[in-house]
Structure formats: structure tokens, C-alpha cells
Amino acid sequence: MKSFRLAAGLSLTLAGLLGCPVHFAFAGSVPQNSAALSLAALPPEERGDLLMARGEFLAAIEAYREAPSDAQVYNKMGIAYHHLLAIDLAKKDYEKALLIRPNYPEAINNLGAAYFAKQDYRKAIRFYRRALQMMPDSPVIAANLGTAYFARGQFRPGLEAYRTAFRLDPGVFNMENTQVISGPTRKADRANQDYCIAELFAQAGMKEQAIDYLRKAFGEGFDDRNRLMDDAVFSKLRQTSEFAQLMAEEKIH
């Protein structure tokens, strides 16, 4: 089995990756030995997909190595390495996928995620922008692009990318959405990011989500009371009991 080195000291939420296998599992009533036999009988790529769904990433990589080497298989191998935090190996497989299929937006997005994980936000932005040009209707790629801008401290283009993502699908910013990459490394940047997402929800009249993201912003250290109280986007929200409760919780007067 090929050895690899894990990325040291890397904090990474495994999200923002496209082209992941669908999740499925054997029925619970199937005996273990029968399940193993059924798994062995699957074609290599399907076997790898099932192992990925189970979280057995090294075994999935070995299965994918037995499959015909095409762009989709290399992209999936990259995702498996990404889950193992072996970012350099993930990056190499995404690049192999793109050598075969240069205009493969999922692999381009994932290469952006690899650069984001390595905190090379400039290159992450470049690849996310390229992927979004090919898939302009992808809220996930637009949101990832916005997060990369925020990580670089470029709040205006970050907010514009978030507006695009929100227009395509407001649900892309649901907190349980694992497709969107996590926020920037610096707390101040994450606070600004969450504040801007709260603005988007408030503009859409989605009160509960706006409050949730304001709470996240406060948790990251947002404390600009004047900005919050003067922001016209929150004018209706400030009239609600939920907003008053949030201010009381955060001891903001």
C-alpha cells in the first residue's frame, strides 16, 4: 500500500468537495460474510464508492486504483486523500483528472479546496472562479469562492459571491451543509463572513437564519454595535423579540 504523510497541523472541515460518491449501504440484515462477498463482487469503482461511503478511505483508494484510470476516478481518489488530510496527494490526483479532462469543473473546484486547505487563498480563488465560469448555476462553488475571498480579507467580492450563491439556493448556507468549505482561519474574517451571511438572510426575510448567523458572528468576536444598529438591512429584525433576546444574551446594549 502506498504510504503518505498527513498534512501537519492542518485544521480542515471536509467540505466543499464535488463529485463525491452517493451514500448507500448494505441492508442491516445481510450477514457480514455475505456483505464482504457482495463487496468483492462489485466493479472496482463501485467498490470504492461504497468504501468511501463507509469512511474506509484507504481501502477506497486501493479499489479505485484497480479501476480504469479516468478523470472521474482520479477525482474520487483525490477526495479520499482529502478526507485523510493528505492534501498534497489529493492535489496530485485532482491535477491528473484535469490532465485527462481539462474542463472538469468538479475537479477544478476540488483543486481550489486543496489550495484553500493549504491556505493559498489566491490560487483557491483562481480555481473557484474558473469552476464557477463552467458551472455558473452552482451555489456551492459560488459560496466556496466567497469564503476564499473572505479568507484573503477581500470582503466586497466575497459578499458578491455570497449573493450569487444565495440567489441560486439560500439553503447553501444552512449550517449543516457539508458541501461548503468552512470559514477563514482568522476569527475576525470569520466574524465578517458570518455577519454578511446574516445580512443576506435578513434581506430575504429569513429571520431565524439571520439571528443564527449573527450569533455565530458574535461567537467569533464581532462587537461593532454601531454597525449592527445602523445597518438598514437589519431594521425589521431589530424590532423583533428574537433580536432583543440575542442582544441580551451577548450583553450588547
Question: Tens of pLDDT along 139-149?
Answer: 999 999 999 99
Q: Is residue 96 within 8 Å of residue 80, measured between CB atoms?
A: no
- H helix or E strand, kind and range, residue 207: helix 207-219
Split at pLDDT 50, 70, 90, the class of 183 is low
Average pLDDT over residues 176-202: 78
Give SS3 for 236.
coil
Q: Taking 50 as the threshold, does the pLDDT of residue 12 lie above it? A: no
Question: Tens of pLDDT along 87-121?
Answer: 999 999 999 999 999 999 999 999 999 999 999 99
* Lowest-confidence pick of 35-39, 71-75, 245-249: 35-39
**pTM metric for this prediction:** 0.79
* Residue 13 burial (CB count, 10 A): 11
**Distance from chain centroid for Cα 170:** 15
Average pLDDT over residues 193-206: 91
User: 159-197: string of b/e by CB count within 10 Å (b at 16+)?
Assistant: bebbbbbbebbeebbeeeeebbbbbbeeeebbbbbbbbb
* Lowest-confidence pick of 28-37, 65-74, 213-222: 28-37
Helices marked H in 54-206: 57-66, 71-83, 87-100, 105-117, 121-134, 139-151, 155-168, 187-203
Q: Of 13-22, 66-75, 178-187, where does the model show the most confidence?
A: 66-75
User: What share of the chain in percent tops pLDDT 70?
Assistant: 82
Q: Is residue 199 within 8 Å of residue 170, measured between CB atoms?
A: no
Helix, strand, coil fractions of the chain, as percent rounded to 5: 65, 0, 35
pLDDT of the residue at 186: 77
CATH number listed for the domain at residues 10-137: 1.25.40.10
Q: Is residue 190 within 8 Å of residue 199, measured between CB atoms?
A: no
C-alpha cell at 242: 428574537
Split at pLDDT 50, 70, 90, the class of 207 is very high
* Lowest-confidence pick of 2-16, 87-101, 180-194: 2-16
Average pLDDT over residues 48-75: 95
Q: How many CA atoms does the CB half-sphere of 38 hold within 13 Å? A: 11
C-alpha cell at 26: 448494505
What's the one-letter identity of residue 98?
A: L
**Distance from chain centroid for Cα 167:** 18
pLDDT of the residue at 3: 38
**Distance from chain centroid for Cα 143:** 8
